Amino acid sequence: MRKRSSIQIMVDTVHALMMREIKTRFGSNRLGYFWALAEPIGQVAILGLIFSLMGRSSVANIPIALFLFTGKLPFSLFTKLLTQITAAVESNKGLLSYRQVSAIDPVITRVLIEVATYLVVYLIIFAFMAWLGFEVLPDDLLGVLAASGLLIIFSVGIGLIFCTAASYWKDTSKLVGMITMPMFFVSGIFFCATSIPPQYLYLFDWNPVFHAIELGRDASFSAYTTPIGSWLYLSLLALVSFSLGLAMFHLSRMRFLIT
C-alpha cells in the first residue's frame, strides 16, 4: 500500500470533519438546511417591511430587497466565519488526540462549510429574485467576487486571532458576540455611505465590513457609486489580519493540544 502524502492526509481528514460537521450542524433531516436559507430571508423581510411602512421602495436607486440582501448576506458571512472559527478548535478538541488531525483542520473545515453555504444561499435567493423580475446580474462580477474574497480573508484572519485567544481565555466567544452585535448597525446593511452626512463618515470609515459591503454594492449596481469604499484599505486589513491570525495560530498550535 502506497503511503499517503501529508496533503492527502489533510484532504481526507478535512473531508471526514466536513461530513461530521454538516451532520451535527444541519441534522439528518432537511430542516437544518431550511434554516440556513430562512434566516437571512426572514431578517431582510422584517427590514423590508420597516422600510415599506416608512414609504420607501428603494435606497440609492436600488430596489429595497436587493439593497438589503447585498448588505445582509456579506455581514452574515463575516459573523458566521468569525463565530465558527473562534470555536473551531475547542469544539473539536477531542479529535486532536488522533495523529492525523491537526489543529488547523477544524478551521479549514468550517471555512469551507460557511463559504459553501454562503454561495448556495446567495444563488438561491438571487435566482428567486430574478424569477420575480428583479435585475440581479451584477454590473461587475469580478468586483463582487473580489469584495467577497477580501471579506472572507479578513474574517478568517480575525477568526484565527480569536481562536488563538480562546485557548488562553475561555470567554472569548462572549467577546465575539459583544463585537458583532453593534457592528450590525454600523456596517451598512440597511443604509449606504451616500445617506451619511460627510462630516460623520469618519464614524464608519474604520469598519472593513462596511467597506466590503460598499464595494460589493458599487460592483453590483451601475446606479450606485460608493464615496467611501476603498480597495486598498480592505486589502491591507485583509492581509494584515490573515497574516497576524495565521502567525498567532501557528505559534500556539501546541497549546491547543494541552489546554
- DSSP letters, 129-192, are HHHTT---S-S-HHHHHHHHHHHHHHHHHHHHHHHHHHTT-TTHHHHHHHHHHHHTTTSSSS--
- DSSP letters, 59-92, are ETTEEHHHHHHHHHHHHHHHHHHHHHHHTHHHHT
> pLDDT value at position 32?
66
> pLDDT value at position 31?
65
pTM, entire model: 0.92
Q: Which helix (H) or strand (E) holds 248?
A: helix 231-251
> pLDDT value at position 48?
77
> pLDDT value at position 29?
59
Can you list the residues of the chain whose pLDDT is less than 70?
Answer: 1-2, 27-33, 258-259
> Do 186 and 164 meet the contact criterion of CB atoms below 8 Å apart?
no
Set of cell numbers at residue 193: 455611505
> Do 157 and 40 meet the contact criterion of CB atoms below 8 Å apart?
no
> pLDDT value at position 42?
81
> Do 218 and 192 meet the contact criterion of CB atoms below 8 Å apart?
no
Please report, as a single letter, which amino acid is at residue 131. W
> pLDDT value at position 106?
93
Residue-wise pLDDT tens digits, 18-48: 988 888 877 655 666 677 777 777 877 787 7
> pLDDT value at position 167?
86
